[in-house]
C-alpha cells in the first residue's frame, strides 16, 4: 500500500440549550495528494457495457494495522474538514480487520469512518473516534454530515466523545466503555442517532436537546433535556415522559440495517442485512449477522464527475451503484427501476440537480435500498428532490420494503437552492430510517425566498414507517402525512427561523403551518416522541397555533409531544390542534402533551 503523507471536566447538570443562528462557515481547504487503494476489478463485461467493481477512487483511504503514520493521515484529513461545513471535500476512511493502537480519529464534515469486517469486533481501536466542537467555540449544534460505523473502540480514558448534531449516524459500533454526546465544556448540542450499537458503559448526553437510539444495547443512560427516544434498546431507561422526557418502546416495529462495504479475504463485498420485525438489540451480538452479500463486481463504482446518463446506463444493465466520495451534478433524474437495487454512498457523495430535475426517482418495486448520500438542491427550482415510487403507487411491499437510510437533503447553505417538495414517499411500506431534510438557516444562498422550499417530507404511501425523522425550517409544512397506517418513532423539527412576519406563514385561518400534519382524511396513524421548536428571530412576535395537526379519529394516536419556544423568539399557542398549554416567555421550557387524543 502507498505510504500516507505526514502531516474532561466533571459532569454537571444540563442547562437549556438552543440552536444558534450564525454566519456561513469556512470553505474547505484544497485537497492534496492522498493515498488510494483500489477495489478488486471484476472481469470485463460484455463489449460496450459498463464494468462492475474497480478502483474506489482518490478519496477512499483504506488502512491496515501495518500502514505507516495512520495518525498523520487522519490528522491531515481532519485539518481540511474540521470547519469545512459547506466545502466540497468528501472522504471515507476504511480500516481493514485487525487491531489498531494509539489512534484518535477526529471526524470532521463529510467524513465517514468504518471498519471493513463483517462484525464490529473484526476491527478494533485501542483509541478513540472523536467529534468535538473546538472549531465552533464549544458549540456542537452544527456538527453535521459525518458518521462512524462497524468498529469496536477501547477509549483511552474509558469514554469516547461523539458530540454531534443532525445527519451524523453512529451505526454498528461497540464501545468498550462509555459514550459522551456533549462537547468539551458541555456547550450546546442538538443531535442525534445511534443504531445497531452496543455501549458497555453509560451514555451521557448531558446538553443534547434530543436523541434517538434504535435496536441497540446500553449500560445506562444518564440524563435527558427535552426528548430522548428509544426503540428496541436493551438497558434503555423506563418510559417516563415528560419528567424525565424518556420515550421507550420495547421493540422497533420493523427495521432493516443499512448496507455496508466489507472485506471477505481480499475481495470487497456489500452486506445486506435482513429485515427484522419487533426487533430488539443488535444484529451482530449473537454471531454472524443475518443477510446476504453482493460482490463488488455487481456494483458500478461511480466517481465524482460521472453524469446521470452513465449512472442510468449502469442501472439499466443490472448493476447496483456504489457512489464514492465527491460531487455529482445531474441534468436528469437517476432512475432506479429494478427490484432490490442498492444505491450505497461512501463518504457523503452529494447529488446536485442543476436544471430543476428530480435528483432520484425509484419505481414502485420491492426491496430498493438507498443509503449514505446527500442531495443538494440546485439553483433552479426542483418540484421534488427524491421520489420513492411514482404518484399513485399501489403495490404491496410488506415482505420486502424499500429502505431510505442516512439519506440527507439540503436546500441552500452551500449556495442557492430551491425545491417545492424535498422528499416524496409514494410506495407502500417504505422504511425511512434516519433522515435529515433541511432547508438551510445559515450559510450561502439563504433567505425566505432565496432558498424557498415549501414542503419537507410528504408521505402518500400506506404503512410507511419512519424511525429517526429530522425535518427543519420549511416555508410551509415540514412533514405532511397523507397515507394510511403511517408510524413515526422520533421526530425533531425547527420551524423556519426567517419568516419575515405573521402574514408570511398564515395558513388560512390558522396561524402558521404545522411542523407535522396528518391529513384530514387519514383514519389511522401513530407516533412516539415528537418535538417541534420555534425561533422566529426575524419577527419574534410571530405566533404559531400549534406544532402538530391531526384529525380527531380513534385510529390516530400520538404519544409524547412537545413544543418549545427557543428564547421566546415566537410562541406556540398549543401543542396539537387546540390542545396543550402555550409556550411562555423566554424560559425555553417545553409545553407537552403525553397522549393524543
10-residue mean pLDDT profile of the chain (597 residues): values are: 28 35 29 35 52 96 98 98 98 98 98 98 98 98 98 98 98 98 96 97 97 98 96 98 98 98 97 98 92 98 97 98 98 98 98 97 98 98 98 98 98 97 98 98 97 98 98 98 98 98 98 98 98 98 98 98 97 98 94 98
Long-range contacts of 36-45 (CB under 8 A, 24+ apart): 36/2, 36/60, 36/61, 37/1, 37/2, 37/61, 37/62, 39/268, 39/296, 39/301, 40/266, 40/267, 40/268, 40/296, 41/297, 42/295, 42/296, 42/297, 42/298, 43/297, 45/317
Instruction: Kindly report, residue by residue over 412-432, the tens digit of the pLDDT.
Output: 999 999 999 999 999 999 999
Instruction: Kindly report, residue by residue over 42-95, the tens digit of the pLDDT.
Output: 333 344 799 999 999 999 999 999 999 999 999 999 999 999 999 999 999 999
Chain-centroid distance of CA 110 in Å reads 12
Grid cell at residue 384: 421534488
Grid cell at residue 61: 483511504
- In this prediction the pTM is 0.93
What is the per-residue pLDDT for 5?
A: 26
Active-site positions read 494
Contact of 90 with 327, CB cutoff 8 Å: yes
> How far, in Å, CA of 465 to CA of 254, rounded?
8
What is the per-residue pLDDT for 288?
A: 82
Q: Phi/psi zone of residue 226: left (φ > 0), alpha (ψ -120 to 50 degrees), beta?
A: alpha
R_g of the chain, CA atoms, integer Å: 22
> How far, in Å, CA of 143 to CA of 146, rounded?
8
Say if residue 244 is preceded by a cis peptide, omega within 30 of 0.
Answer: yes
What is the per-residue pLDDT for 255?
A: 98
Instruction: Give 412's Cβ-side CA count (13 Å radius).
Output: 25
What is the per-residue pLDDT for 526?
A: 98
What is the per-residue pLDDT for 27?
A: 28
Amino acid at each position: 500500500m502507498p505510504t500516507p503523507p505526514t502531516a474532561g471536566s466533571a459532569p454537571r447538570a444540563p442547562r437549556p440549550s438552543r440552536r444558534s443562528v450564525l454566519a456561513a462557515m469556512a470553505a474547505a481547504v484544497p485537497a492534496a495528494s492522498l493515498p488510494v487503494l483500489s477495489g478488486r476489478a471484476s472481469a470485463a463485461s460484455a463489449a460496450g457495457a459498463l464494468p462492475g467493481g474497480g478502483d474506489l477512487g482518490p478519496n477512499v483511504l483504506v488502512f491496515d494495522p501495518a500502514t505507516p503514520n495512520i495518525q498523520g493521515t487522519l490528522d491531515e484529513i481532519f485539518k481540511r474538514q474540521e470547519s469545512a461545513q459547506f466545502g466540497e471535500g468528501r472522504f471515507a476512511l476504511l480500516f481493514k480487520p485487525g487491531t489498531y493502537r494509539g489512534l484518535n480519529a477526529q471526524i470532521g464534515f463529510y467524513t465517514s469512518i468504518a471498519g471493513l469486517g463483517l462484525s464490529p469486533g473484526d476491527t478494533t481501536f485501542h483509541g478513540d473516534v472523536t467529534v468535538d466542537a473546538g472549531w465552533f467555540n464549544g458549540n456542537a449544534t452544527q456538527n453535521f454530515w459525518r458518521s462512524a460505523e462497524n468498529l469496536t473502540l477501547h477509549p483511552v480514558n474509558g469514554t469516547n466523545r461523539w458530540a454531534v448534531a443532525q445527519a451524523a449516524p453512529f451505526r454498528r459500533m461497540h464501545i468498550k466503555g462509555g459514550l459522551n454526546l456533549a462537547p468539551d465544556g458541555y456547550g450546546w448540542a442538538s443531535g442525534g442517532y445511534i443504531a445497531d450499537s452496543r455501549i458497555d458503559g453509560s451514555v451521557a448526553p448531558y446538553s443534547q436537546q434530543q436523541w434517538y437510539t434504535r435496536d441497540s444495547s446500553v449500560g445506562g443512560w444518564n440524563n435527558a433535556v427535552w426528548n430522548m427516544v428509544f426503540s428496541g434498546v436493551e438497558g434503555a431507561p423506563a418510559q417516563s415522559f415528560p419528567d424525565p422526557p424518556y420515550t421507550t418502546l420495547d421493540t422497533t416495529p420493523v427495521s432493516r440495517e443499512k448496507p455496508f462495504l466489507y472485506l471477505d479475504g481480499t475481495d470487497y463485498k456489500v452486506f445486506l442485512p435482513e429485515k427484522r420485525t419487533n426487533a430488539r438489540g443488535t444484529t451482530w451480538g449473537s454471531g454472524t449477522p443475518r443477510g446476504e452479500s453482493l460482490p463488488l463486481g455487481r456494483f458500478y463504482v461511480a466517481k465524482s464527475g460521472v453524469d446521470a446518463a452513465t449512472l442510468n446506463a449502469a442501472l439499466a444493465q443490472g448493476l447496483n451503484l456504489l457512489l464514492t466520495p465527491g460531487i455529482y451534478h445531474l441534468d436528469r433524474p437517476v432512475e432506479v427501476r429494478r427490484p432490490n437495487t442498492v444505491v450505497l454512498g461512501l463518504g457523503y457523495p452529494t447529488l446536485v440537480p442543476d436544471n430543476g430535475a428530480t435528483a432520484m426517482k425509484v419505481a414502485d418495486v420491492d426491496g430498493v435500498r438507498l443509503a449514505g448520500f446527500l442531495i443538494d438542491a440546485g439553483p433552479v427550482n426542483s418540484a421534488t428532490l427524491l421520489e420513492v415510487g411514482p404518484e399513485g403507487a399501489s403495490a404491496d411491499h410488506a415482505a420486502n420494503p424499500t429502505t431510505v437510510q442516512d439519506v440527507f437533503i439540503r436546500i441552500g447553505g452551500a449556495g442557492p437552492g430551491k425545491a417545492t417538495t424535498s422528499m416524496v414517499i409514494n410506495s407502500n411500506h417504505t422504511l425511512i430510517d434516519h433522515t435529515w431534510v433541511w432547508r438551510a438557516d445559515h450559510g450561502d444562498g439563504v433567505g425566505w425566498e432565496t432558498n424557498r422550499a415549501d414542503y419537507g417530507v410528504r408521505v402518500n404511501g400506506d404503512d410507511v414507517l419512519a424511525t429517526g425523522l429530522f425535518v427543519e425550517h420549511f416555508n410551509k409544512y415540514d412533514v405532511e402525512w397523507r397515507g394510511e397506517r403511517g408510524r413515526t418513532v422520533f421526530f425533531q423539527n425547527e420551524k423556519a427561523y426567517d419568516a419575515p412576519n405573521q402574514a408570511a406563514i398564515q395558513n388560512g385561518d390558522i396561524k402558521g403551518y404545522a411542523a407535522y400534519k396528518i391529513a384530514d382524511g387519514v383514519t389511522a396513524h401513530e407516533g412516539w416522541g415528537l418535538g417541534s421548536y420555534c425561533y422566529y428571530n426575524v419577527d419574534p412576535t410571530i405566533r404559531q397555533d400549534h406544532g402538530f395537526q391531526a384529525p380527531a379519529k380513534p385510529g390516530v394516536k400520538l404519544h409524547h409531544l412537545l413544543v418549545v419556544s427557543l428564547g421566546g423568539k415566537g410562541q406556540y399557542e398549543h401543542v396539537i390542534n387546540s390542545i396543550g398549554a402555550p409556550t411562555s416567555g423566554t424560559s425555553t421550557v417545553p409545553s407537552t402533551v403525553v397522549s393524543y387524543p
